[in-house]
Amino acid sequence: MEEQAVELPYPAQLTDPTRIRAAYLRMAKVALEEDFGDGADVSTLATVPADATGTKVMRARQAGVISGLDALAIVAEVADERHVELVPLVADGDRVEAGDEVARVEGKIQHILMLERTLLNILSHASGIATQTRAWVDAVEAAATSPQGCKVRDSRKTLPGMRMLEKRAIVHGGGYPHRYNLGDQVMVKDNHVELSNAAEAYARVREFLGEDATTWVEVEVDTLDQLSDLLAEGKARPPQVLLDNFTVEDTRKAVELRDQLAPQVLLESSGGLTLDVAGDYAAAGVESVAVGGLTHSVRALDIGLD
């Protein structure tokens, strides 16, 4: 019986409320320490009456996808002594247009102004990732030819301390996150095979893990010859192969080769991909594209506190 391709693994950390909360608490404490660690906000204390209360609105200034509201709730909790309440008006993952209200911030005006930049930094950064991810998802979904479709995946190219925020933003944008950390899955990349080749490196990983191991392994190849050797008959094949810096034409050839030798193996394109050619790679037949730029080169979504 022909083996069937399996589903990509999903990082358990991104659905674990305890892990999510712990990560956001760490991020919130660092962010607040950066703003309040060396003295008072003189400009606010000097110009705004201490007893003044009111409401300010977070408003999108451009269209996009919202992410980070769950993190802002933790920031408001950590800063509870500042008597500020965050009231979301949309949900993470929602599309918004320019001018739409995203959330209300209620409480003492002094404290709202002190927290303004921290709140906007987190929300605009995460929403920028979610917005860019959604653009990629829309592009590949319309063009995918694999029976499993084509998923948009991220990388570990995240800012220290913000991995949870950034990877959940990928999810809110419709993406399918890669491994959360080095222990989640095995990624055999070019630096791991300098003294051998991709097929030998994969054999060593299987030996290290043990024959009964269920750990997901992805192996990177740079050429069609490497792919052919890795998928050759009689060899144990990895569940997933990453095609690094392949042209669209070579990607089509790789898909044809995979279909002939090991149709159960999933293929992923990565390396220098841009949004304007995302659909071409999806149309070539890969099951996913990995895009480091979703996190390391993102442009923040313009959101203001009015």
| Domain identity same for 159 and 279 | yes
| Domain identity same for 113 and 257 | no
Is 4 within the bounds of a domain?
A: no
| Domain identity same for 60 and 174 | no
Is 65 within the bounds of a domain?
A: yes
- Give the structural domain span for 24: 12-133+300-305
How far, in Å, CA of 11 to CA of 172, rounded? 14
User: Which pLDDT score, from 0 to 100, does residue 293 have?
Assistant: 93
CATH code of the domain containing 209: 3.20.20.70
Is 85 within the bounds of a domain?
A: yes
Q: List, in sequence order, every residue forming a beta bridge with 106; answer none if it has no partner.
A: 55, 85
User: Which pLDDT score, from 0 to 100, does residue 195 have?
Assistant: 61
How far, in Å, CA of 294 to CA of 277, rounded? 15
Is 196 within the bounds of a domain?
A: yes
Average pLDDT over residues 116-136: 96
| Domain identity same for 106 and 181 | no
| Domain identity same for 168 and 272 | yes
CATH code of the domain containing 85: 3.90.1170.20
Average pLDDT over residues 100-112: 93
Active site residues: 117, 157, 189, 220, 244
Which tokens hold the place of 30?
């660092």
Amino acid letter for position 112: I
Is 3 within the bounds of a domain?
A: no
State yes or no: pLDDT of 2 exceeds 50: no
| Domain identity same for 71 and 99 | yes
- CA 116 distance to own-chain centroid: 25
| Domain identity same for 101 and 170 | no
Is 124 within the bounds of a domain?
A: yes
pLDDT tens digit sequence for 13-67: 999 999 999 999 999 999 988 888 877 889 999 999 999 999 999 999 999 999 9
| Domain identity same for 128 and 143 | no
How many domains does the chain contain in total? 2
Predicted TM-score (pTM) of the model is: 0.93
Is 64 within the bounds of a domain?
A: yes
Is 1 within the bounds of a domain?
A: no
| Domain identity same for 148 and 95 | no
**192 exposed, middle or buried (CB, 10 Å; 0-12, 13-18, 19+)?**
middle
Which tokens hold the place of 259?
């279909």
| Domain identity same for 110 and 250 | no
pLDDT band at residue 158 under the 50/70/90 scheme: very high
| Domain identity same for 194 and 293 | yes
How far does the chain reach from its first CA to its final CA, in angstroms?
62
Q: What percent of the chain has pLDDT over 70?
A: 95
| Domain identity same for 198 and 125 | no
Which tokens hold the place of 49?
């009456």
**297 exposed, middle or buried (CB, 10 Å; 0-12, 13-18, 19+)?**
exposed
